[in-house]
Amino acid sequence: MYEELLRTIGNLGTPRILIAGDFMLDVYVYGDATRISPEAPVPVLRVVQTESRCGGAGSVAADLAALGAVPVCIGVVGEDANGGLLKERLTALGAEVAGIRTVPDRPTTTKQRLIGLAQHRHKQQLMRIDRESTAALDESVREQLLQACREALADVDIVCLQDYDKGVLSAELCREMIRLGTAAGHKVLVDPVRSADYTKYAGATLLTPNRYETSLAVGFEVREAAEAARAAQVLRQKLSLDAAVVTLDREGLYLCTETTAQLIPARPRNVYDVTGAGDVVLAILAVSLAADSDYLTAAHLANIGGGIEVEKFGASTVSVSEMVHEIVGQFGTRNNKLRPLDALLEEIDWRHSRGQTIVFTNGCFDVIHRGHIEYLRFCKTQGDVVVVGLNSDSSVRALKGPERPINNQQDRAAVLSGLETVDFITIFEEPSVLGLVRKVKPDVIVKGGDWGNKEGVVGWDFVESYGGKVVLAPLVQGKSSTATIEKMKALQTDAKGS
């Protein structure tokens, strides 16, 4: 997983992504709130800073730009100062704004947040003031947006629709943009509004509703992963989607495609502000899929990016470097093949999701010799990923006697890690390997031919119960750790005698 996530996030390139929807200006007014007004029981805000950011579909555009993409924007602003400022902000990010039409007698959607600074630094939102119109656009304006969409489709890689129900993505406009996008051969990703009727999104490629939006759209409450799985499948089938991604806040997200149905859990975090998390999820899905990522990899990256964003204040972007740092932090074993069991099982789940075959073997591997090399080479011919269960020092002593192992478990693991035929190693303490086999659930178990037959292999019946198999490897005659150690002892004795 680690390598695939890094490979994808490191090769996003500079895709051109059409983003259509409700563009907004987010205004943050920061001030010290140190006293209560004598006029009313409310805090007095002494303004120290005012900041403007791109909001709504503009927030998605900012997220796309932060990831190296070129946002091609289609939407409307009012004929006012805020509309001009929003277009300036987008242009400064590298976005193309020719598709944003200025509409007279309609305000630029603006959300002004009053932020109190406790002790001059801790941000706390006190109030939000909205200026907006949710009235449907005139037919002439809708046609202008559709024409901008038609002109842009020849030169973009993917299409995103961000619907905040501010009057831009009407049912008619939404359906036509989806039709145009798919007809042009592009994936169309939609972050939907909270509504009981999602029919206007039918035919899109992917939908990203949150838990509450999903509950309303499917008609039952989504509280747990099982309900998210059911809801995602309902959305896929009802709307003819390729994929549904249901975001589940602290629990992560649920991905449902024709071949994948999986909860992708989130890492526990100190959540500061959930504003903008959905925008980041949409943006990362878009750039990942534009880079020919599969849905599962894209969903993992979106889950990571959304997690980073909620630790920030307000709608904030997430950079590639932050993503890389987070991936290294979460899967920080990097190229270290020795994995604790929990990390190994997560890696195996990922490999299985890629259709790879897991081969498992176990042993002491105390003094590595030619027999071990040939044996592990044979293991590698049986599948894609070779996992070695390595007996701990205490379990080796129980099996071989108090003088063994010659090399401690860390040294033995280090030697195995240097072999190309070994992909992962985990150390187990139990006298029997059966418990580990049950957790790993390998597709293939390999043991040496000296076991006689498969019935002598621990866990053979469990592995075969789900379609796995047991394979006995040929042995290199005269090669064993015990024989090697005895020969060394004999040489040492001879040396002392002479």
Q: Please, are residues 458 and 442 in contact by the beta-carbon 8 Å criterion? A: no
3-state helix, strand, coil in the chain (%, to 5): 40, 25, 35
Q: What are phi and psi of 245, to 5 degrees?
A: -120, 110
**Amino acid (1-letter code) at residue 400:** K
Task: Calculate the alpha carbon distances from 47 to 31, 43, 53, 122, 323 in Å.
Answer: 4, 12, 18, 14, 34
DSSP string, 211-260: HHHHHHHHTS---SHHHHHHHHHHHHHHHT-SEEEEE-GGG-EEEEESS-
Residue tagged active-site, from 26, 279, 393, 423: 279
**Amino acid (1-letter code) at residue 435:** G
CA dihedral sign, ordered 276, 277, 279, 283: positive
Task: HSE, CB side, 13 Å, CA atoms: give it for residue 487.
Answer: 9
Active site residue 197: no
CA distance 159 to 144: 17
Count other Cβ atoms within 10 Å, centred on residue 16: 16
- Distant-in-sequence, close-in-space partners of 429: CB < 8 Å, separation ≥ 6: 392, 394, 395
CA distance 46 to 416: 64
Task: Calculate the alpha carbon distances from 27 to 88, 188, 293, 298, 316 in Å.
Answer: 14, 30, 35, 31, 13
CA distance 209 to 220: 14
150's tokens? 């038609």
Residue indicated by tokens 């379990």: 395
Residue indicated by tokens 């947040």: 113
Beta bridge partners of 297: none
| CA 127 to chain CA mean position, Å | 33
What residues act catalytically?
279
